[in-house]
């Protein structure tokens, strides 16, 4: 009888899921960096606007 565990799933050719994960992490990092820079610019804008009023 074959020993079956639900955690062993065949994901196709070796390394494809790792590459997909790497691309996702790089994309998430780029989006987080861009969001941080845009958020910082808006924060500075509203801070100056508040001080002027």
∠ Cα 10 14 19 (to 5°): 110
Strands of 1-53, DSSP E: none
Question: pLDDT digit string (tens) for 6-48?
Answer: 565 665 566 566 778 889 999 999 999 999 999 999 999 999 9
Distance CA 38, CA 43 (A): 9
Alpha-carbon dihedral sign for residues 36, 37, 38, 39: positive
Predicted confidence at residue 21, as pLDDT, reads: 87
Predicted confidence at residue 24, as pLDDT, reads: 92
Claim: this prediction has a pTM higher than 0.85:
no
Predicted confidence at residue 29, as pLDDT, reads: 97
Predicted confidence at residue 46, as pLDDT, reads: 92
């Amino acid at each position: 009888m074959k020993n079956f565990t639900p955690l062993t799933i065949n994901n196709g050719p070796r390394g494809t899921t790792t590459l997909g994960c790497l691309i996702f992490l790089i994309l998430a990092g780029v989006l987080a960096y861009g969001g941080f820079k845009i958020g910082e610019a808006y924060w500075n804008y509203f801070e100056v606007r508040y001080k002027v009023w």
